[in-house]
Amino acid sequence: MKRIALAVVALMSSVSASAETVVITAGRMLDVASGTMIERPIIVVEDGRITKVGRQGELAVTDGKRIDLGALTILPGLIDMHVHLTSDPTLSGMQALAYPSSFWTVLGTAMAKRTIDAGFTTVRNVGAADYADLALKMAIERGAIPGPRIVPATYAIGATGGHCDSNELPANYVFDRPGIADGPDGVRQKVRELHRRGAEVIKYCATGGVFSIGTSVGAQQYTQAEMNALVDEAHMLGLKVAAHAHGTNGIKAAIRAGVDTVEHVSFADAEAFELAKKAGTWFSMDIYNDDYILAEGAKNGVPESSLAKEREVGLRQRQTFQAAWKAGVKMAFGSDAGVYPHGDNARQFGKMVEWGMTPIDAIRAATVKAAEALGREADVGQIAVGRYADIIAVAGDPTQDVTTLRSVKVVVKGGVIAKDAR
Ligand code: ARG
């Protein structure tokens, strides 16, 4: 890493400073790509992006605003591939219907703050009503409210009566269900519509799920032809596709259709692993969730039908995670925060280590690997020249004890301090 960093520094030294220059120093820096610690790092940031990375004493000191993180360990801001910023787990089930859509958008502002305070500087929001994730993104980008960088999916697309539909109310209640589309032409049109509205990733439901009413968690919900059309259209528009899929057949159909990430992936088998490896498909598995849902779900209003489905998938999903990782499937960190409390995203690192990853692999899944899965290697996921200065600081060594990521001391986003809890 050191050699790479120095080469990069040499390359960048001719670039002249623009706008505001920030100089960040710390005790050590985890280079997530190599897994090595670099002592006494210094990072120069211009206009929010990193222009130099080196070691204190070796890199010529630049004028600029100083952020000295003392003895803390820094690493790239974390990335969560699967959140719902406009959901509150303590308002589950029918009680959620008492709140207007504007309520969830307002709530999202608080959840965005919790998320960035937890060290997650980039999230993919894979399903929000009312285009609320776009509104949050706009407010955050204007600097009006604190929050992570958001890759918004807007509405999750789903089949009539499927996991992404709203099946709670009797049929005589008529209301808008803007994410619903059926048939190859229908899903193509829906992708175009969401793209037109500003979606930067397409999320769809390939199988039933835990929290939906009247869906079998393992059952496929779009035909192969529908999935093919949806993915083809999204890719034509330059959008990546995330498929919610628990059941084996739905997972395989999604991979065959060419999706970029499969979410949940509970009942994947060895053939699904091979298909994913061949296609380069990422798995994003929310394996912390089960603990929270089973402990708090009933109190939060989750109906018994969903708790029963959770008991079916919880352990199985973790076993699948372990087997898939062992088989060599690419993994990106996705928590499904919103189903469990926002701000607790990092709890999942411990589970990933418990189920077969080394700490550095779990950290990579939420940094350099997640950036790759997003197709955002130029922007996020590493402390490297060219990328945004999204940097978090912790007290210990997360490669020894990954739970240190649950108490992030300082968060810097684009070279600006977003949280300082030293
Ligand atoms: N949103 C997902 C669903 O409803 C959550 C699944 C949570 N359970 C789990 N074991 N990961 O299907």
Domains and CATH numbers, the chain: 2-76+382-420 (2.30.40.10), 78-374 (3.20.20.140)
Which two structure tokens, joined as six digits, stand for 209? 């799920």
402 Cα distance to chain centroid: 18
Query: Which residues contact residue 170 at a Cβ distance below 8 angstroms, ignoring those fewer than 6 apart?
Result: none
In total, the chain counts a number of residues equal to 422
Does 300 contact ligand 1 (Cβ within 6 A)? no
Query: For residue 264, how far is its CA from the centre of ligand 1 (angstroms)?
Result: 7
CA 84 – CA 123 distance, rounded (Å) = 9
Nearest to 262 by CA among 239, 240, 285: 285
Q: How large is the C-alpha radius of gyration of the chain?
A: 21
CA 236 – CA 213 distance, rounded (Å) = 33
Amino acid letter for position 68: D
For the chain, the straight-line distance linking the first and the last C-alpha, in angstroms and rounded, comes to 28
pLDDT score, position 17: 38
pLDDT score, position 260: 99
CA angle (170 as vertex; 164, 171 as ends), nearest 5: 80
Does 233 contact ligand 1 (Cβ within 6 A)? no
Cβ atoms 117, 66 nearer than 8 A: no
Does 318 contact ligand 1 (Cβ within 6 A)? no
**Distances in whole angstroms, Cα of residue 292 to Cα of each of 159, 217, 307, 332:** 28, 18, 11, 21
Cβ atoms 366, 79 nearer than 8 A: yes
Give, for 262, the enclosing helix (H) or strand (E). Answer: strand 261-264
Q: pLDDT 10s per residue in the chain (422 long)?
A: 444 544 444 444 333 334 689 999 999 999 999 999 999 999 999 999 999 999 999 988 779 999 999 999 999 999 999 999 999 999 999 999 999 999 999 999 999 999 999 999 999 999 999 999 999 999 999 999 999 999 999 999 999 999 999 999 998 999 999 999 999 999 999 999 999 999 999 999 999 999 999 999 999 999 999 999 999 999 999 999 999 999 999 999 999 999 999 999 999 999 999 999 999 999 999 999 999 999 999 999 999 999 999 999 999 999 999 999 999 999 999 999 999 999 999 999 999 999 999 999 999 999 999 999 999 999 999 999 999 999 999 999 999 999 999 999 999 999 999 999 99
pTM of this prediction exceeds 0.75: yes
pLDDT score, position 149: 98
pLDDT score, position 62: 78
Does 285 contact ligand 1 (Cβ within 6 A)? no
Query: For residue 317, how far is its CA from the centre of ligand 1 (angstroms)?
Result: 10
- How many separate helices (H) and strands (E) can be counted in the chain? 12, 18
Query: For residue 200, how far is its CA from the centre of ligand 1 (angstroms)?
Result: 23
Nearest to 314 by CA among 261, 351, 280: 351
pLDDT score, position 11: 42
CA 180 – CA 186 distance, rounded (Å) = 9
